[in-house]
Structure 1
Amino acid sequence: MVNLNACNQKPKIDYPTFWEYKIIFEKGVNANAICQELLGQREFSCKFSHASKNDTYYSFLLRVFVDSEKDRLDLFATLKARAKFVL
């Protein structure tokens, strides 16, 4: 039986830590340049992950060092403003 109370709890994340985002851009967008622009001197890696079936979108795995939950969520919002999708 599933404990529904456990589903409502936030996961425990120990900060600082490396966090991974899947970012998706339209074909032709330089994801590495955008990551460098947004992250500046932060420690990160951005690697190609997958191309869509029609070669319209490219996904990348971004691994970046975050200091806190606020930092992680702020970075998500920043990425979301530039990428097609962020997961």
Structure 2
Amino acid sequence: MVNLCDFEQEPMINYPTFWDFKVILEREVRAGELFESILKQREFKYKASNLSKNGKYQSYLLSVYVDSKEDRLSIFAKLKEKSKFVL
């Protein structure tokens, strides 16, 4: 049986670490240029994953070196501003 109290607690993440984001962009957006403009000199890598059924959207797996929870959430917010969807 699952203890539901465990779901209410924040997971323990040991920083610094690489964090994976799933980023969905319109297909014509140049992902590498977008990620470089957001992440500047930060260490990251990305790869294309799925293309939407109608070909309008492309998803990417973006792995970024983050120093802290605040750093991770800041990157998430910046990605969210420039993309269709971020997980």
Gaps of 5+ in 1: none
Q: How does 1:25-36 map to 2 (within 5 A)?
A: 25-36=25-36
Q: How does 1:48-67 map to 2 (within 5 A)?
A: 48-67=48-67
- In structure 1, what is the equivalent of residue 7 of structure 2? 7
Provide the C-alpha distance between the structure 1 equivalents of 2:50 and 2:3, rounded to a whole number of angstroms: 36
Deviation of residue 7 (structure 1)? Answer: 1.1
Q: Quick one: percent identity of the two aligned structures?
A: 53
Deviation of residue 27 (structure 1)? Answer: 1.4
Q: How does 1:70-81 map to 2 (within 5 A)?
A: 70-81=70-81
Match of 1:42, SS state, is: coil
TM-score with structure 1 setting the length: 0.97
Match of 2:41, SS state, is: coil
Report the aligned-residue RMSD: 0.7
Deviation of residue 2 (structure 1)? Answer: 2.3
Gaps of 5+ in 2: none
Per-residue Cα deviation, 1:13-49 (whole angstroms, up to 9, x for no partner): 0000000000000110001100001111100012111
Provide the C-alpha distance between the structure 1 equivalents of 2:81 and 2:72, rounded to a whole number of angstroms: 15
Provide the C-alpha distance between the structure 1 equivalents of 2:10 and 2:20, rounded to a whole number of angstroms: 17
